[in-house]
Amino acid sequence: MPDLEINSKPLVKGNGFLKKIFENRLTFSLTLLFLIMLQNIITTPNFFYMSITNGLLSGYIPIILDQASRLVIVTLGMTLITAVSGGQDISVGAIMAISAAFCGLLLNGPEYRTDVFLNPYPLALFAGLLGGALCGAFNGFLVAVLKIQPMIASLILFTCGRSIAKLITYSQTVYIMNPVYKYLGVQIPGIPIRTTIIVSVVMVALVSIFVKRTSLGIYIESIGVNSSAARLVGINSNLIKFFVFVLAGVLCGAAGLMASSSIGSVNSDELGRFIELDAILAVALGGTLLGGGKFSIAGSVIGAYTIQAITTTLYAMQVRADQLNIFKAVIIVILIVVSSDVFREKLGKTARFLRRSLPRVRREL
């Protein structure tokens, strides 16, 4: 995919291998994730210990991969929305709740049978994904056709989406006790890896292949950089934006189904709550330009796992839940500052100044 980020200044002169590594946006995300893992070797000696418990792989690493799976899938959609529109969708958590509510309604119905499916399970899953697609289509219509800024457009579902989910479930928490429902969010019998990990990996692979092996990725970057210029060369900007929002809605629907399956219930108040904040942060940490244009699927996925690794690390360090957000906020502020282009440019200037000054200091000594 062509590099459309023409305004960034090189931090290291020359054409060597070191320069390419230093300027690659994935370098920061990978370095950060490596430092978090390294820190856990010191503070939590058994952090990397894994074992099979009750037929399921357990340990800190599987927990991180499992807990981050929903965020990874949501982040995929957020990355594409940010790239194509230069804005963010803050309704992703509400869309997760609506999708899970549709699925729960078809499985349990108004009779609230907790152990018997009233409709075929695949049909309920399809209804949940369709609900997410409809929500994405609503946001996409507001952004692509009515030209409303994405964050303002998604504010509608952010405000009323959970109320819609409550209407679907008759303001009740829907409990689904049929063990088949756990297959998507916990484990398929005989497979020692959590299904959420498998589904998230498959989703990342499918979206990456779809974006890289088709013209969609180039179209998204072109529209994000300059929508008017993209129209002049024959790209239907409105259609691409609408499609991206629908795709993001489907991804949010899948994340909502996984989240409800993992706990065996549909709680419209808590399902996917505040996940939009972590998704936006993961996109930023991954190197995607928040103003639109250049994006990185790999970087966003690494950013999502980094955020979950920070959360799990804090829990492993015995940080209480009511104090977690304080430590997390401090870490996030540091990360944002370090990853900013201004900081990187200042760091590059300092490195170049030291490289020029050190030989003169040696001669004077």
Specify the pTM: 0.86
* Closest alpha carbon to 191 in 32, 62, 81: 62
Q: For residue 346, how many other CB atoms are within 10 A of its CB?
A: 12
Instruction: Give CA separation, 53 vs 50, 57, 62, 189, 193, in Å.
Output: 9, 6, 12, 14, 11
Give pLDDT tens digits along the chain (365 positions).
Answer: 444 443 444 444 445 565 666 666 677 778 878 888 888 778 777 878 888 888 888 888 898 899 999 999 999 999 999 999 989 999 999 999 999 999 998 888 666 566 678 889 999 999 999 999 999 999 999 999 999 999 999 999 999 999 999 999 888 888 888 888 889 988 888 889 999 999 999 999 999 999 988 889 899 999 998 888 888 888 899 999 999 999 999 999 999 999 999 998 899 888 988 899 889 888 988 888 888 888 889 989 998 998 888 888 888 778 777 777 787 777 777 766 776 678 777 877 887 777 777 766 566 66
Instruction: Give CA separation, 302 vs 4, 221, 284, 308, in Å.
Output: 22, 20, 11, 10
Q: For residue 47, how many other CB atoms are within 10 A of its CB?
A: 19
Spatial neighbors of 200 by CB under 8 A, at least 6 apart, are 65, 68, 69, 70, 72, 73
Domains annotated for the chain, with CATH where assigned, are 49-308 (1.10.3470)
**Alpha-carbon span 304 to 220, nearest angstrom:** 21
**Alpha-carbon span 117 to 108, nearest angstrom:** 6
